[in-house]
Amino acid sequence: MRKLKINSKIKLSVLALSIAGMSFSCSDFLDTPPKDIFTDSNFWTSENNVKTFSWLNYDTFLGYGNNAGTTADFYFHNSSNFDDNLAMNVFTTFNTTANATNSNWNSYYTLIRRSNLMLERVPAVNMDEAKKNHYLGVAKFFRAYTYFRLAQEFGDVPYTDAFLQQNDANVYKPALSRTEVINNVIKDLEEASSLMLAVDDKNVTVNKFTAYALLSRVCLYEGTNRKYNLGQPGSEYLQKAKAASLMVMNNASYSLNSDWKSLYNSLELLGNTEVILAKRYLRGVLGNSIQAYTNTSTVQSGLSKFAAESYSTVNGLPIKQIGGNPQYLGDNTITNVFANRDPRFAKAFGNVDYAYSDKPLNGLTSITGYVFQLYNTPAASGTEVTTIGQNQIDAPIFTLSEVYLNYAEACAELGTATNADLNLSLNKVRARAGIAVLTTDGSNASVGGIQINDPQRTSSLEQITGAVSPLIWEIRRERRMEFISWTSLRKADILRWKKGDYLDGAKNPDVLLGARIPSLIGTASKTKVNADGYVIPYTISRTFISPKHYLTAIPTNDISLYLAEGVELKQNPGW
């Protein structure tokens, strides 16, 4: 049944794509289209057609990637999407010159155009009013989600909320400020949440609570980005982040899974109570390659020293707690490294032994020595584990755990966080993970009556752009551990906190180091280590340039295209 439904969905989506394309340019190619071919004028006649058209939008959710592709929200890195948690098996660095084109720019504006078409056509479709409102909300959701990502990546961008013909004079308009874009995003999401159904196809299509989850993410982003990058007040947005988070948190239909790892290694997330929106994969229809890259002889991307040392011990204290942490046993051996640590550490990475070029472990090697195993599941075997394009674990897109941590961070950034707030949100995530819960006096953070004092919080690295309060520091640590392989979320966090220096090898050497393997010191091993025994994955470094690398360059072809129409698209700073 599931296979039949998804195959039908794909076939109908192809049909809808044809309609979408014809609605834009049919008159350029056909004066009188055949009667058995849908056109824009005869497609918008039923709820089923509207639903089919909306399915096209879901391709924008990358999840674990599509089939053999590695463009994804998790684990895989490229020159525009990498973080400080995982060192890629092939060295990546930041672009230094502006590209002529950008695939995100192109695909995002295509999706916006499709959403605007949907908003224009749906009101005239003969269908149930509640479902009509729902699909109007769906279109607003996807338009908002797409403009949000444009503003995150490019800053000021052209904006239109109308479906325009190609020859319309308004196609080429000056860019709108990112503040105005974000405000329009929030307006769309607030309207979408009032229009959309509470449930529609369980958690594999967007609904009212998906809109609230995205609103929570957007407002937290905007509030903190204003504070740390723009030096502006962000309280209005942080209050909205809290309110949107509570709308999800107060829905009794959502609850955390008992096991954190099950979010990332489940063959089926349909109806999962923690997953607000999932991307599903099915053999013969759509696969991914996330397991194949971590369960075959391909050299794995590996955990960085910088990330490994962020895992606290189960008592909730950082490993370098000033005054000492009796649970931390050091890193002379892998047994010591994992002893008494946050259980998510061993669920995400192998704790039996390191694996590197001279010493594979069960055929596996890692660029940093840490073996990635988060996606392993006993429910899959054979080609569903080892073959590129045939992996079938589902991907979480929006989760309750993210909403909990959005709420906690918003409270801390507002300076209003109480123990009740933490117990309502962050401490549920920590309890599920198996580490001590936090208490606070509003600024400081304590566990078991001991005040946390992490020297890393006030290190020279942190002082470059400014240290944060102990409570905010611990909430950021929690986001990092909870979403360890979620590269798109981590990158967004780094940039909105103005912590791009984390990615710079000169300012943060630990981001370009791996596990400590003292036995390799002074040997002829192909795996190089420094004088202290930490793996050196690369022979070159990486530079993060501020403010340049906080935004992506506007594609130069589009700058030229707009200029030819008499409109200036200004390039971002540093490009």
Largest Cα separation within the chain, whole Å, is: 81
User: How far is the C-alpha of 117 from the C-alpha of 23, rounded, in Å?
Assistant: 9
User: How far is the C-alpha of 193 from the C-alpha of 68, rounded, in Å?
Assistant: 35
Strands 86-87 and 302-303: antiparallel
Q: How many helices (H) and strands (E) in the chain? A: 19, 7
User: How far is the C-alpha of 9 from the C-alpha of 410, rounded, in Å?
Assistant: 39
pLDDT recorded at residue 466: 97
Distances (CA, A) of 356 to 17, 248, 309, 511: 46, 43, 19, 18
Q: Taking a C-beta distance cutoff of 8 angstroms, is the pair 291, 391 a contact?
A: yes
Distances (CA, A) of 228 to 443, 480, 494, 497, 501: 17, 18, 11, 6, 14
Give which of 534, 510, 525, 485 is closest to 369, Cα–Cα: 534
User: How far is the C-alpha of 534 from the C-alpha of 541, rounded, in Å?
Assistant: 16
pLDDT recorded at residue 126: 95
201: left (phi over 0), alpha (psi -120 to 50) or beta: left
Which H helix or E strand runs over 399?
A: strand 395-399
pLDDT recorded at residue 504: 97
Q: Is the pTM of this model over 0.95?
A: no
User: Which residues sit opposite 78 in a β-bridge?
Assistant: 81
pLDDT recorded at residue 169: 87
Residue 535 backbone phi and psi in degrees, to 5? -60, 135
In DSSP notation, 232-296 reads: ---HHHHHHHHHHHHHHHT-TT----S-GGGGTS-S--TT-TTEEEEE--BTTTB-B-TTGGGSS
User: Which residues sit opposite 366 in a β-bridge?
Assistant: 300
pLDDT recorded at residue 345: 98
Residue with tokens 């974000």: 182
User: How far is the C-alpha of 118 from the C-alpha of 49, rounded, in Å?
Assistant: 11
CA dihedral 71, 72, 77, 79 (to 10 degrees): 50
Q: Parse the chain into domains and list their residue ranges.
A: 1-43
User: How far is the C-alpha of 485 from the C-alpha of 85, rounded, in Å?
Assistant: 7
Per-position b or e across 168-195, b if 16+ CB within 10 A of its CB: eeeebeebbebeebbebbbebbbbbbeb
- E runs forming strands in 53-164: 86-87
Per-residue pLDDT tens digits of the chain, which is 575 residues long: 333 334 334 333 434 444 444 333 322 322 334 445 567 778 999 999 999 999 999 999 999 999 999 999 999 987 778 899 999 998 989 999 999 999 999 999 999 999 999 999 999 999 999 999 999 999 999 999 999 999 999 999 999 999 999 889 899 999 999 999 999 999 999 999 999 999 988 999 999 999 999 999 999 999 999 999 999 999 999 999 999 999 999 999 999 999 999 999 999 999 999 999 999 999 999 999 999 999 998 999 999 999 999 999 999 999 999 999 999 999 999 999 999 999 999 999 999 999 999 999 999 999 999 999 999 999 999 999 999 999 999 999 999 999 999 999 999 999 999 999 999 999 999 999 999 999 999 999 999 999 999 999 999 999 999 999 999 999 999 999 999 999 999 999 999 999 999 999 999 999 999 999 999 999 999 999 999 999 999 999 999 999 999 999 999 999 999 999 999 999 999 99
